[in-house]
Amino acid sequence: MERLAAEAAEALAGAPADEVIAWATRTFGRRICITSSMTDAVLVNLVSRHLPGVDVLFLDTGYHFPETVGTRDAVSAMYPVNVINVMPPTTVAEQDAELGPRLYSRNPDLCCYLRKVVPLEDALGPYDAWFTGVRREETEARTDTRVVQWDARREMIKVNPIVEWTQQQVDDYIAANNILVNPLVYDGYPSIGCRTCTSRVADGADPRSGRWAGTAKTECGIHT
C-alpha cells in the first residue's frame, strides 16, 4: 500500500480532481471514505459523482457551531452520501469532570487529540483509504502535501484531490455548481472549527487566522 501511494502520487501529480477521484474509487471501491468539517460540500459533491453512497465522516466534537451541525444535516439530505456522525469516547461533561472545564483553552492540543484525532482513528478502521479536502495553500504545514500520500500513523492511503486548488478555484467551483456552504463562511468565518476555538477573520486576513487565535497552534493534529 505504501508503494501504491508513492506510485499514484507520481502518476497523478497535477491531475484534475475528477481524475484523482476516479483512480481512488476504482482502486478502493467502498473501502474509501470522506472526512469533512462541513465548511462546504465541495469534496462531497466531487466524490459522490463517482461513488454515490460514499461514507462521509463528521467529527462531532460537542463544541460545534449550530450552523455547522445544520450544514451536516443539509449535506446528508441534499447529496447522495452516507453521513456518519463520529463521537469522541467521552461527552464534554465527562471530559470536564475528568480533566477540568475549558480544556480547549488550557491545553488545545490535548482537547483536539481527545475529541478529533482519537475518534477519527477509530472511525477510519474499516477503510483502506480516505479523501480529504486539504489544500497546500491553507497552512505552512500543508505546503508539501501530495495528491496521494501514505499515512504511516494510520497505515492507510490519504487522497487529497483538491490539494493544488486555490481559494479562488474553490469559490468558482461553489458558484458554478451551486454547492452547499456553511452560512458562517459568509459571516466572517472562512475556516471553521469548534466554536470555542474559532473567531471571525478580518477582511484580507489569513483565512485560518481565526483558528486558535492568540496561540501558535495552526493544526488540530489530524493532518500532521
**Residues classed as catalytic:** 220
User: Strands of 32-35's sheet, edge to edge?
Assistant: 81-86, 54-59, 32-35, 129-131, 156-159, 148-151
CA nearest to 218, candidates 197, 203, 195, 196? 197
DSSP state string for 23-82? HHHHHHGGGEEEE--SSBSHHHHHHHTTSTTEEEEEE--S---HHHHHHHHHHHHHSSEE
User: Residue 131: enclosing H or E segment and its boundaries?
Assistant: strand 129-131
Q: Any residues with CB less than 8 A from the CB of 170 and at least 6 apart, and which?
A: 40, 42, 135, 162
CA distance 97 to 104: 14
User: DSSP state, 187?
Assistant: G
Q: Which three cell numbers stand for residue 98?
A: 475528568
Helices (H) and strands (E) in the chain, counts: 9, 6
Q: Which three cell numbers stand for residue 187?
A: 459571516
